Amino acid sequence: MSINMYLRVPVGLEIPKLADFAKRCEDAGFAGIGIHDHQDAGRDVFSALTAVALNTSKLKLFPAVTNPVTRHPMVLASLANSLEEVAPNRTLVMIGSGDMAVTHIGKQKATIDELSDATNIVRQLLAGDSLTFGSSRDEHLIYTPSTPVPVYIAATGPKTLKLAGQVGDGAFIWTGFSEEAVQITRQIIADGLKSAGRPETPLPIVAVAPIRIEKDIPAACSWMSGWLAADCGLPGTLGNRMANHHGPYMGSSRQKLSDAALGKTTAVEDLQALGDFIGLFGPPEYIAERILQIHEERGISDIFLMSAHHKDTQYVMPQAELDAFSKIIFKRIS
């Protein structure tokens, strides 16, 4: 089974230049790219994805992450169909409850029930079904894809993991790479499948991995220490949010990993353990070995790389990641 690497690409360049960057990602060997859906950037994700589609031939393309608050589910279904017409069999939808994009318009994140409803609506409309919205009946898409576009849920906590099993075509998971974390994650998704009466075959998953390329492990851990302590644009520091979010998946290592996330220990070995748990941190050679280990020992074949960043560097293009993978990492993991 091959390893498929996907890369998060921000709209940090004018859209034509972004499309050129995506072509370089395709040429390097990436299986797909996800572009974030932050309307405050002034560059629309689906416009950017369309430009990328026209400039590439193999990349899987998706928003990372769209939501049903800033975009009505019927609008999302229409956008997904439009992108699929430009990039047949290369389009998927990654939908979540909303975070930064939602706060920018003063709204609340979608509840689990709202996310569930939105996912079902998008999937049904793309399949050609007619639905009722308020007093408006028999609403449907006049044009639909010949093959329904898969809708993946951005599943971070136990509730969204279960929901992915209940209503999603797949899941993007950010729950950790330890053996315990992967087992817990798969079990929650399986519980969702069972509770919804769906076939209990493994749901397709893409593991999300923050990544930071540094010259060596100590340099990576030093950078990580400041990253964890920084304001992430939402309540609390990133480390605080990480300790709370990832806690259910840390298992027997919870105290050690939480202490590192909260800055209670800055020992290199503790920060390295946290980095290995949540993502990929270190020099290219080390990251290549970690990818192979995750693939061989955890059975994970699809990884979505998200360049670890501070709030003020979220639009920096992942050039370091592109260089590391094209020059070193792809040669070692192929």
Per-residue pLDDT reduced to its tens digit, 225-276: 999 998 766 677 989 989 999 999 999 999 999 999 999 999 999 999 999 9
242 plus 289 within the same structural domain: no
Residue 35's SS3 state is strand
Domain shared by 223 and 90, yes or no: no
Q: For the chain, how many structural domains are there in total?
A: 2
What whole-number distance in Å separates Cα of residue 291 and Cα of residue 232?
26
In this prediction, residue 23 carries a pLDDT of 98
Q: Residue 152 contacts by C-beta under 8 Å, 6 or more apart in sequence? A: 62, 92, 93, 94, 95, 164, 168, 169, 170, 171, 172, 204, 206
Task: Output the CA torsion sign for 34, 26, 6, 22.
Answer: negative
pLDDT for the residue numbered 65: 93
117 and 88 assigned to the same domain: yes
Q: Token pair of 277, please?
A: 């748990």
Q: Are residues 32 and 80 in the same domain?
A: yes
Question: Could you tell me the pTM of the whole model?
Answer: 0.96
3-state secondary structure of 93: strand
CB < 8 Å & 24+ apart, contacts of 122-128: 122/73, 122/76, 122/77, 122/80, 122/93, 122/95, 122/151, 123/148, 123/151, 123/167, 123/169, 125/73, 125/74, 125/77, 125/78, 126/77, 126/80, 126/81, 126/151
Q: Are residues 149 and 255 in the same domain?
A: no
pLDDT at 101: 80
* Contacts of residue 112, Cβ cutoff 8 Å, sequence gap at least 6: 97, 159, 160, 163
E strands, the chain, are: 4-8, 32-35, 60-63, 93-95, 131-133, 136-139, 151-155, 170-173, 205-213, 280-282, 302-307
pLDDT at position 1 is 66
Same domain for 48 and 158, yes or no, is yes
Residue 207 near residue 294, CB atoms below 8 Å: yes
Looking at the fold, whether 143 and 273 belong to one and the same domain comes out as no
Q: 264 and 304 share a domain?
A: no
The CATH number of whichever domain residue 154 belongs to comes to 3.20.20.30
- The predicted pLDDT at position 77 comes to 98
Phi-psi region of 249 (alpha: psi -120 to 50; beta: other; left: phi over 0): alpha
Q: Which residues of the chain have pLDDT under 70?
A: 1, 232-234
Q: Which pair of tokens denotes residue 43? A: 């560059």
| Structure confidence at residue 107 (pLDDT) | 86
Contact yes or no for 320/287 (Cβ under 8 A): no
Give the domain-ending residue among 278, 302, 317: 278
Amino acid symbol at 21:
F
Range of the domain at 186: 4-212+279-333
Tell me the three-class secondary structure of 105-156, residue by residue. CCCCCCCHHHHHHHHHHHHHHHCCCCEEECCEEEECCCCCCCCCCCEEEEEC
Q: How far is CA 55 from the centre of its chain?
A: 22
Q: What digits encode the pLDDT tens for the residues 12-53?
A: 999 999 999 999 999 999 999 999 998 888 999 999 999 999
Same domain, yes or no: 123 and 261? no
pLDDT at 106: 86
Judge if 267 and 176 occupy the same domain: no
User: Do both 33 and 120 map to the same domain?
Assistant: yes
Round to whole Å and give the CA distance between 318 and 128.
38
Output the pLDDT for position 99. Answer: 79
Distances (CA, A) of 288 to 282, 293, 323, 326: 10, 9, 13, 12
242 and 121 part of one domain? no
Cα end-to-end span (Å), the chain: 11
Domain finish residue from 232, 263, 278: 278
